[in-house]
Amino acid sequence: MEPEGDIHISDGAAADPPPRGPRPICSNCTRPGPVCLCHSLPARPIKTQTQIIILHHPHEANHKLSTTPILTKCLSNSTAIVARKLKPGLSPLLDQSPPAIYLFPPTKASPAVSLSDLPSSPVPKHSPLVLIAFDATWKHAREMVKASEGFLSTFASRVCLDVDESASGGSIYDSELVLRKEPFGGCVSTMEAVARALGVIEPNGVEIEARLIRVLRDMVASQARYLKTPAKPRPKLLKKGKEKQRLKNESKSESDPISGHGQL
């Protein structure tokens, strides 16, 4: 007996989905389409008397949450240099030894003028001033500053934001930004640090700071929608030895239901 029609045998396995192509990238803000920020960027880059130079660590330059690309889109007098340290020959502007400040917290060996005290300090504030910021993880940023200080010390002054390293760490915005964890309270993104500095040193700084922060808030809000779990705050980083001991003690405590202290 001949079959009445073709017989199709299926093993029940679903066909593999087609491979996903690269996400479309906005040609203007260079961000993926779903988190495009063009609607938040100034219609024209903001003009400042201050020249802004950002030393962008090579690792951070490829990070999707780096704020430097957006910052340079917002400010007409801003330049990003991808390198691990500032040195002669890297920037024609800095080679002229202009009056400059660079943003970084103080150390015992390298004190800094607080941003809130800058108006009354002897640090040069006349225009045009150069503002230098470092965009990297805190570990890399410390290395970059240390490597650059021999060059910067001849013409630039160190200025810090009002940061309390003894406080608990959280996010760049303690109440809003949940994208990246920072080592201690008061840490801010490169974009916010530059905005706060311009708020002090620019004649119309309050307006400039507000416009930059508005863009940063929009960036955070758009990115946060795609987070599966928000970044949790973490305490101030401890030395490796102490951190290992703390984790060991916690592990013992959890494994001992009798004493609750991990000891018998």
Average predicted confidence (pLDDT) for the chain: 76
Give CA–CA dist 87/183, Å, rounded.
28
| DSSP, res 145 | H
Report pLDDT for 56.
Answer: 95
Give CA–CA dist 114/161, Å, rounded.
6
Between 194 and 245, name the one with better pLDDT. 194
Report the SS3 class of residue 82: strand
pLDDT tens per residue, range 60-94: 877 777 889 999 999 999 999 999 999 999 999 99
Q: Which long-range contacts (CB under 8 A, 24 or more apart) does 22-30 make?
A: 28/73, 29/69, 29/70, 29/73, 30/69
Take residue 262 and report the two structure tokens written for it: 């991990």
**How far lies 105's CA from each of 60, 64, 108, 147, 243, in Å?**
19, 25, 10, 15, 23
Between 207 and 176, name the one with better pLDDT. 207
pLDDT tens per residue, range 118-139: 877 776 655 579 999 999 988 8
Region of 89 on the Ramachandran plot (φ > 0 left; ψ -120 to 50 alpha; else beta): left
Report pLDDT for 17.
Answer: 59
Q: What is the mean pLDDT of residues 29-39?
A: 83
**pLDDT grade, residue 248 (50/70/90)?**
low
The domain ranges of the chain are 46-114+121-160+175-228
Q: What is the mean pLDDT of residues 173-196?
A: 62
Take residue 204 and report the two structure tokens written for it: 């119309």
Report pLDDT for 87.
Answer: 96
**pLDDT grade, residue 116 (50/70/90)?**
confident
